[in-house]
Amino acid sequence: MLFSSYEFVFAFLPVTVAVYFALSGIKSPYPQRIFLAAASLFFYSYFEWSYILIISASIIINFILAKISLHASKQSAKKALFILSIIFNVGLIGYYKYYDFAVDTFNTVASTNIPIKGILIPLGISFFTFQQLSFQLRTYKSDSKKLNFIDYTLFVSFFPQLIAGPIVLYDDLVPQIIDENKRRPNKDNIVKGFSIFTCGLFKKLIIADELSLIVDNGFFAYKSMGMLPMWIVAFAYTFQIYFDFAGYSEMAIGLGKMLNYDLPINFLTPLRSASITEFWKRWHITLGRTLSELVYIPLGGNQKGKLRKAINLFIVFLVSGIWHGASWTFVLWGIAHGAARVFEECFPKLLNRIPTFIRRIFTFLFVVFAFVIFRAESIGQAFGIFKQMFTFSNLGLSRFSSLLINGIFGVPNFAAIALAFAAILICFVIMLKEKSTSELLEDFSPTPKRAVLIAIMLIVSVLCMSRSAVFIYFNF
Amino acid sequence: MKNQTVKFICLLLSIFIAATGVLCTVAYILDPQNVYRSNTKGLRFFSPTYSSAPAIRTADYDCVIIGSSMVQNFDTKQITKQFGYKPLKLALGALEPDELLWLYNCAQEQGKAKKYIVNIDLHRFASNKIVEPDCGRFRDYMYNPRGLAQFRYLLGYETWFRFIPLQAFLTAIYGLNIPLPESFRSSLKLSTDINTSGYWNEDNPPGEAALLENFNSGTVVFNDGDSDTYSDNAMSHMDYLLEQLSVKLDSDEELTIYLPPYSSLFGADKSSDQIEVIFALREKIAAFAAEYANIHLCDLQAESYVRDLNLYMDASHSSTTIRKATQQSVVSCTGEPDLQQIKSNNSIIKSYADEALKKAQVKK
């Protein structure tokens, strides 16, 4: 079920919130928690019922391993269980996400013909696997004996964060699950949460999905586009993925808030960053946090000298690229960001001499180029697009109408040029002016003016639901 | 604060309920049957993405024509005159094989058509994407509206961000007698006649010189496939499509497959072996059609007028001259599948493709 679907907004969400708080009247907290976990699993299985088997198996096995580990007296046993949990989780994600890619690569390198299985990747597997790996690391280091199956299931399956994050850690969520004060409905949280949810819905449905027209048409016919249209396409994709994913994260945070849960912030206006280092402190923050915990710190972090730190940083970005998907384009995207991050680490004084405004422009352009690689179906396509972007002999002014083909009739080229530039300009203005999710949360007050604004955003969003596309990060 | 929160909820809900109520009422008054066709000054829009679905459900037809922009080669009036059918065109530029199957299945579910005309763009079968019925660029909820879904259009994106604004805009333009640019008017004219549905906007320069220039500069995409998997993909995807087309076809229904009249340069792709894959696909379709009495094949690729590069605007879209001639060929085609004939046509195509390629290389 998509957050941006009729089923979710008009059925699942109101029913779940109503029943959840109705159950708060029961003294025992468990009916409420069981209901929320069951509703979350229903939400997940709505995409494909067989997914529930995979996530259930993952939850049960991780829980058993953790439970045994918590009661193990010997450190060696704890370590063995931790290694087993890594093997299980990495094996699970490896099979579903990377098997076909590995076989395809092997076939190419070794000229073999091993059949590809065409495995359907379960939604959110990268997210819930990373979440549980992080939990296993915590268990390995922890002395606590407490672990409850219902709480653990709810921690993994909690529907606002299940499919595309924010990646929530055990200590982020479980203390809130067991907090008695959070069981009863809170009108302020419901209003605040719903308002944040609507802001995210608007970003996804109005901005990201509208930009997808330019992006899809541009990437489809990139060979014949010319320079200016391809620059517009490259900018459009950067804004599309940002508003799509940041919109999703805002919806998740808003939904959590409605149920009295505070989920971690995932975006802090990252496109305004003045360096790649800053960008990664503001973009998909919870992935950075998890990678730091699971990869960077175990590799030694910054404790083993400058060279080792640079290597560790690079490895983190490489893993980040691979985590996003089984394709060489994601690997190259990770390498590009890793190289930029290492460069900034090595030459901080040099970079600090450049005015912030200039650094912001260069950082933004770097992010745009990297996202072209990220979106491309192959590395060849990515470089084909770069070539178009720098073909000064073909400005492509006559090709703008093909960017806006939408099935009704051809938009006159002069109008297409105006619309395409206007769309990008509007996105730039929003990017520069928008408030981050944390600012939205802090500044919110239930004034009549806000009620009108949220109602308008909701109505416009509802009008766009019939063509809502899947969130980009659902693919990862 | 609590009072303020309650006021906020009441205000938000009342605005939302009132506004959606008004929007639903307006949409219902303007379009009570969910046909998604703006009707301004007698102009009806045939926007394939949105109007194909309601047309399949509500139009009066006994024949459907499914295909890409190549559907410009089918003249419904001539088809009615020649065969007595009332055709419905379901065309969308660069129609994907899975979209084609989707439309075919949707038309089959309605059971109104006795004749199916399917235009197959062979090169589209070579991509790595798995072919299966998929709504693609169409809106799936429009095709099988059940229960509450049949009213979804009242608050639909297509209704409120496409058709009603378009209708309002054009009503205002016509009402105020504001002159429109010629390119816009011609585009509008094509979009308002079902017989010109799928027509290629004639905005590309025609003629051999322009075509060779496009070919050499790579500004026209000549194939969509990855060269390593081109043949395997094309063959397996075509097998799947043919099986799907035949499985759904009743014995009293007829299917005619048309192979469109691309220019010779289309076949003469820079990777020369790909033309052999196209030939193999053509032979596969001929062999398949020969097995069924009610499945026919018309090959427009080897016609003499198709060989003239001067008649093309790009590798697949032709000028009015070739289009008129093709429309005539469509209705005069007997549709008897003959593998030998297809093989013979392949030889003809090969020789003029080689000739075209030579010209392109000389120009380079």
Q: Which of A412, A455, A466 sits opposite B183 (nearest CB)?
A: A412
Whether the pLDDT of residue B74 is over 70: the answer is yes
Interface residue of A463, A464, A470 to substitute, partner B, most B CBs within 10 Å: A463
* Per-window interface: B 64-123 vs A, CB < 8 A: 92-93
Residue B337's pLDDT band (cuts 50, 70, 90): low
Cα distances (angstroms) measured from residue B210 to each of B192, B219, B313? 30, 11, 8
Instruction: Name the least confident of A84-93, A175-184, A281-290, B228-237.
Output: B228-237
Interface residue of A219, A409, A445 to substitute, partner B, most B CBs within 10 Å: A409
Active site amino acids of A: 324
Residue A1 lies inside a defined structural domain of this protein: no
**Helix or strand (DSSP H, E) at A429:** helix A413-433
A204 and A168 within one domain: no
Residue A78 lies inside a defined structural domain of this protein: yes
* B15 reaches A (C-beta below 8 A): yes
Q: Could you give the CA distance from residue A336 to residue A60 in angstroms, rounded to a whole number?
A: 38
Domain count, chain A: 2
Interface residue of B4, B11, B12 to substitute, partner A, most A CBs within 10 Å: B12
Kindly list the residues from chain B whose CB atom is less than 8 angstroms away from the CB atom of residue A464: 157, 161
Flag if A408 and B50 touch (Cβ within 8 Å).
Answer: yes
At which of A160, A184, A208 does a domain end? A184
Instruction: Name B101's Cβ contacts closer than 8 Å, sequence gap at least 6.
Output: B131, B132, B133, B134, B241, B244, B245
Q: Report percent pLDDT > 70 for chain A.
A: 97
State the number of CA atoms in the 13 A half-sphere of A72 facing the CB: 19
A178 and A304 within one domain: no
Closest CA–CA distance from residue B169 to any residue of chain A (Å): 14
Flag if B23 and A463 touch (Cβ within 8 Å).
Answer: yes
Residue A252 lies inside a defined structural domain of this protein: yes
A445 and A296 within one domain: yes
The residue in chain A having the minimum alpha-carbon distance to the alpha carbon of residue B188 is A409
Residue A319 lies inside a defined structural domain of this protein: yes
How much is the pLDDT for B38?
47
How much is the pLDDT for B43?
47
Kindly list the residues from chain A whose CB atom is less than 8 angstroms away from the CB atom of residue B92: 407
A289 and A158 within one domain: no
Q: Could you give the CA distance from residue A375 to residue A381 in angstroms, rounded to a whole number?
A: 10
A428 and A331 within one domain: yes
A174 and A205 within one domain: no
Flag if B139 and A467 touch (Cβ within 8 Å).
Answer: yes
A255 and A158 within one domain: no
* B162 reaches A (C-beta below 8 A): yes
Whether the pLDDT of residue B293 is over 80: the answer is yes
Residue A146 lies in domain: 6-184
Residue B182's pLDDT band (cuts 50, 70, 90): confident
Residue A225 lies inside a defined structural domain of this protein: yes
- Structure letter (DSSP) for residue B318: B
Flag if B11 and A455 touch (Cβ within 8 Å).
Answer: yes
A208 and A109 within one domain: no
When pLDDT is averaged across residues A273-286 and rounded to a whole number, the result is 93
**pLDDT tens digits for A337-388?**
999 999 998 888 888 899 999 999 999 999 999 999 999 988 988 999 999 9
Q: How many CB pairs under 8 A join A and B?
A: 109
A353 and A204 within one domain: yes
If one compares B230 and B280, the residue with the highest pLDDT of the two is B280
Residue A49 lies inside a defined structural domain of this protein: yes
Closest CA–CA distance from residue B295 to any residue of chain A (Å): 31
How much is the pLDDT for B165?
82
How much is the pLDDT for A117?
78
At which of A155, A184, A213 does a domain end? A184
Whether the pLDDT of residue A452 is over 80: the answer is yes
Flag if A407 and B166 touch (Cβ within 8 Å).
Answer: no
If one compares B163 and B18, the residue with the highest pLDDT of the two is B18
Mean pLDDT of chain A: 89
Kindly list the residues from chain B whose CB atom is less than 8 angstroms away from the CB atom of residue A221: 221
Calculate the CA B140 to chain-centre distance.
17
Q: Which of B47, B181, B221 sits opposite A412 (nearest CB)?
A: B181
**pLDDT tens digits for A222-250?**
887 889 999 999 999 999 999 999 999 99
Kindly list the residues from chain A whose CB atom is less than 8 angstroms away from the CB atom of residue B317: none
What b/e string do you get for A230-249 counting C-beta neighbours within 10 Å, with b at 16 or more?
Answer: bbbbbbbbbbbbbbbbbbbb
If one compares A103 and A32, the residue with the highest pLDDT of the two is A32
Of residues B157, B167, B207, the one with CA closest to residue B42? B167
The residue in chain A having the minimum alpha-carbon distance to the alpha carbon of residue B162 is A408
**pLDDT tens digits for A173-182?**
889 999 988 9
**pLDDT tens digits for B104-121?**
999 999 899 999 999 998
Flag if B15 and A467 touch (Cβ within 8 Å).
Answer: no
When pLDDT is averaged across residues B201-228 and rounded to a whole number, the result is 69
Closest CA–CA distance from residue B41 to any residue of chain A (Å): 17
Q: Could you give the CA distance from residue B21 to residue B30 in angstroms, rounded to a whole number?
A: 14
Complex prediction ipTM = 0.81
Residue A256 lies inside a defined structural domain of this protein: yes
Kindly list the residues from chain A whose CB atom is less than 8 angstroms away from the CB atom of residue B201: 410
Which positions in chain A have a beta carbon within 8 angstroms of at least one beta carbon in chain B?
6, 118, 187-188, 191, 221, 223-224, 401, 405-410, 412-413, 445-448, 450-452, 454-456, 458-459, 462-467
A220 and A365 within one domain: yes
Contact B36, B153 (CB under 8 A): yes
**pLDDT tens digits for A127-146?**
899 899 989 988 888 777 78
Residues in chain B: 364
Cα distances (angstroms) measured from residue B292 to each of B100, B250, B284, B288? 21, 11, 13, 7
Interface residue of A391, A466, A467 to substitute, partner B, most B CBs within 10 Å: A466
**pLDDT tens digits for A36-47?**
999 999 999 988
A223 and A101 within one domain: no
The residue in chain B having the minimum alpha-carbon distance to the alpha carbon of residue A194 is B9
Flag if B8 and A191 touch (Cβ within 8 Å).
Answer: yes
At which of A128, A162, A184 does a domain end? A184
Whether the pLDDT of residue B41 is over 50: the answer is no
Whether the pLDDT of residue A473 is over 70: the answer is no
A111 and A145 within one domain: yes
The sign of the torsion formed by the CA atoms of A272, A276, A280, A283 equals positive
**Helix or strand (DSSP H, E) at B255:** strand B254-259
Whether the pLDDT of residue B208 is over 60: the answer is yes
